[in-house]
Structure 1
Amino acid sequence: MSHDHSHGDLQADQDCADFLERIVYFIDNELDDADCTAVRVHLDSCNPCLVKYDLQRTVKSVVARSCSETAPDDLRERVRLRIREVQVQITTSVDARE
């Protein structure tokens, strides 16, 4: 019993819009039990919303993972050295103009 959005069912579209607004809160476990149940029931019966939910969950996971990663020490050192080189070039350039 999945919703078919191709026929322009305005009520189904509005219901989906309401649930899609709650998906972020659902993913973050910020809904009460009744709302969680309602979202789960809707996702079980609406494939387009389930696809959007899966995409949101994947994006959130990738962002969370990438925010916790740190650059390898050798890369960090190369960046530091390059910054120092640029600082020296800027300082030398400014000194030459004065």
Structure 2
Amino acid sequence: MSPIDPDRDLSRTDCAAVVLRLFEYVDNEACADDRVQIKAHLDECGACLREYERDLLLKALVRRACEPEAAPRALRLQIMSRITSVSWTGADRTGQQR
């Protein structure tokens, strides 16, 4: 994304310009100058600060939802025992049910 115009003071900028850049700010991808300007705007604008806090929460929820969770050991053992044992319940070559 293009850098924020350095001649514009984000504390007086339309909030839409800041909100469009929040994910870059949250992900630490904004350049240093933009970070300073966005932070200054967030310090003065409660509405944008709430958007920023929502973005932080969303990122934390996604991170938590994507964490791998291991199945309980007993369940893993039960599954492994079932897939390693073979049982045949079909008909034999003569068509007789076994």
TM bucket normalised to smaller:
0.5 to 0.7
Q: Match of 2:72? A: 73
Note the 1:1-98 alignment, pairs <5 A.
Answer: 15-73=14-72, 77=76
Question: Gaps (5+ residues) in structure 2?
Answer: 1-10, 84-89, 91-98
2:4 maps to none
TM-score of the superposed pair, with normalisation by structure 1: 0.60
Q: 1:76 to 1:36 in 2, by over 3 A?
A: farther
TM-score by length of 2: 0.60
More relative contact order, 1 or 2 (CA 8 Å, 6+ apart)? 1
Q: How many residues align?
A: 72
Q: Rg larger in 1 or in 2? A: 2
Higher share in helix: 1
**Structure 1: gaps spanning 5 or more residues:** 1-11, 85-91, 93-98
Specify the SS of the correspondent of 2:21. helix
Q: CA RMSD in A?
A: 2.9
